[in-house]
Amino acid sequence: MSKFTIKEVTTRRDLRKFIAFPDELYKDCPQWVPALRGDQVKSLTSCASLKYCKHKLWLAYDASGKIVGRISGMINPRYNELYQKKRARFGWFDTVNDREVAALLLSTAEAWAKEEGMDEIHGPLYYNTLGKQGMLVEGFQNRPVFNTLYNYAYYPELVESLGYEKECDWLEYKVPAYEGATEKLRRVSALLAERHGLREGNIEELKKDPAKVKEFFAAYNESFAKAVLNFVPFTDEEIAEEAASFIPFLNQKTSIIILDSEDRLVAFGITIPDISGALQKAKGRLFPTGWLHLLRALRHYETVDLLINGAVPKWQNTGISAVLHTWLGDRYVANGTRWALSNPQIETNSAVNVWARYDSELYMRRRCYIKKI
């Protein structure tokens, strides 16, 4: 008889325990970056993606009643329809270093997925590509950027021992930002900008104009549709929700949008100061002082987070990245930025090769696992 039991999260009290568990699990881990509690509540109860996604939450307990693990099972019907799959997802997966606990958590999610008619499960994933995804398999010594997962080194060993196999890897790089663009990159950038009438768009105008925000996310949807594995275009509600969460923090000092001669958006580089240290100090709460830590972090540019970078399909593989990197590089030099941390990019995407131009280093590798059920 197992010494562990599992219970579905059905009450607000259970939900608070579900959200709090990793902070206890990682309390002695210097790399751990707590998520804001309020953001977690919304993600798990009322975010726009839950308008069409199904999900369940479970907690695992030991014989003394102590929580030893958590997991969420999710089904995104828009994904399954788009890719002609019958797949569930698992996420919010955290566990003590015990194979029996991991097996109990994953088997519970698998059983639910089978009841829902699914024949595969993969993860760790979010409902869509807006959230945290990918189990860390390299770079455990590094602190993650705020919108990515962190886990102990024993996690991959546990899931692999339970029949999960690699579906894909995402790579993140640490890139020196204090030298700016090379002369070769500047020449290419200048030629492209002159030939196509490229210019910088105004970030402040974008922030104030709902139509421009919608245009931006339409370009985002279009730019990642074929380049990002498992990508599902965002609904209007998801776009509005995401815009409200990060558009107010954009500024001309760190981010850029590039327009063509007819004022159409062709590429974008959305960068923010690294706020992971501030979130560690905030310990998951904005009040009473967490917001002060975040505000201070947003004013320091020594390390920046390359949150979203891309180009619409027409401009991909045209050299537009030379323009984007040159213009962003000038900002970084002006701001005294030393390091840029890239967003996770699928290893099969040719865009990941751009970091070879710089004296970059692999910062983290994260993996999506899959299993037939």
Domain 178-337 in the same topology as domain 5-170: yes
Per-residue pLDDT of the chain (373 residues; tens, 9 = 90+): 679 999 999 999 999 999 999 999 999 999 999 999 999 999 999 999 999 999 999 999 999 999 999 999 999 999 999 999 999 999 999 999 999 999 999 999 999 999 999 999 999 999 998 889 999 999 999 999 999 999 999 999 999 999 999 999 999 999 999 988 888 889 999 999 999 999 999 998 888 888 878 878 888 787 777 667 788 888 989 988 888 887 887 888 999 999 999 988 899 999 999 999 999 999 999 999 999 999 999 999 999 999 888 888 888 888 898 999 999 999 999 999 999 999 898 898 776 777 877 889 999 999 999 999 9
Omega within 30 of 0 (cis) for the link into 144: no
**Positive or negative CA dihedral for 204, 208, 214, 217?**
positive
Question: Which positions ≥6 away from 209 have C-beta within 8 Å?
Answer: none
Domain residue extents for the chain:
5-170, 178-337
- Dist CA 196 CA 130 (whole Å): 31
CATH class of 178-337: alpha beta
- Identify the helix (H) or strand (E) that includes residue 299: none
Q: What angle do CA 152, 157, 162 make, to 5 degrees?
A: 125
Fold of 5-170: Aminopeptidase (3.40.630)
DSSP state of 349: -
